Structure 1
Amino acid sequence: MLNCNCSIFTVIVDHGKASKVLKEAKNLGVRGGTILYGIGTNPSPLLHLLELYEMKKEILLMIVDSSMEDRLHQELTRIFHFDKRNRGVCFSSPLSAIKGTHMKTKVCEVEENTDSMNSNYEAMFVIVERGYGEEIVEFASSAGAKGATIIPARGSGVHENETLFHLTIEPEKEIVMMLVKKEESEAITKKIDEEINLDAPGAGILFVIPVNQASGLVK
């Protein structure tokens, strides 16, 4: 397992709610957080029919002591009703190193045993050119993924930069973030790779990180 006492705690909620979640998290001992903005996708056929399948989302990132994870999951789920449909999702993942907070620099040692992680999910991230995020969601959904959040970003990779009048242009990117079941992760990765050929220069980047706990994944 990852022998570390720090985790990244991620909360995905509707637009305008992340600051409220952060306020409650601070009451529980969290020191602060960062809010990102994205677009959520919903697989509901009715929402697609009404063209309401894209919803503004906020992504709250907080670095917490791992000993706080259980209480944060329990209390935030209780306060914001993450155990009900479409109220939000939160998950926590281990950190391998941290520096730049009020905590001292921490570097984590990796042990062989990974069985202690009590989540059946992994967090999958796919970084692609702007406009391709929805296609990635469609590919992933066809392989078993249940929804995603698309976050706008900018890239500066060696294969992507172009120049105009000797000025570097950083192309717009999209980050597709999904919580996927461990047993479906390989199939989803394979499907995305088959469709966009991730090994091609500039095609995109896919990576997966472990999840310690996840809340709000209501069937």
Structure 2
Amino acid sequence: MSSLFLMITITDRRSTDGFLQLYKSHGVTVSMRTVGSGTAVQETLSTLGLEKTEKAVLLAVVTAESWQKIQKDLRRKMQIDVPGTGIAFIVPLSSIGGKRALMFLTEHQPLTWKEESTLKDTRYELLLVVANQGYTGSIMDAARTAGAGGGTVIHAKGTGMEGAAAFLGVELVNEKELVLIVSRTSQKNTIMKAIMEGANPKAGAIVFSLPVTDTAGLRLMEEDETQPEAAL
């Protein structure tokens, strides 16, 4: 399904609501947000017109058609090309775990079905699990049954989760945890299925994968194909 992407937006926290309203106008109602801070040196900050303020990081699944329209409005309405406003970019998704999760994430967006990502020959995949806060242990226990060794947890806040019950049969609270797991492509589907079927249902877990086109620090995994998955 190469027409699906993970849209990542980084902007000043004070501008968060404006970006969310823009995305909602294009049918992108489900997203996750967390906070971050810049690491650029002062010379770079001055050149780009940026300030050392807290940043908002927004994550949302978008279709190719939605992105084309959003990109135009980011430039026209949010003036994202003006230094200091922020940046937005998309990363191709290679799969989403379950039709219900797919329909939930793209409920108000046009979706054209295609074959899986043309990057499907990559050796590794990044699995991103979105879940209610407090269920990381259950998710990782399920993932380990399929060979995953560890993951990285990021705390975030969800928006547009009100309609989750109709699609997923579970209420999704605003407080979220994002679990990132690097997996061999050959084991991706097994791990995703294990999480979908084995994690605590109250976690409301949504899992999708992104192709990893290059790596560093995974030498042991490359040398020993029996080694468990690496923690990101």
Q: Which has the higher helix share?
A: 2
User: TM-score w.r.t. structure 2 length?
Assistant: 0.43
User: TM-score w.r.t. structure 1 length?
Assistant: 0.46
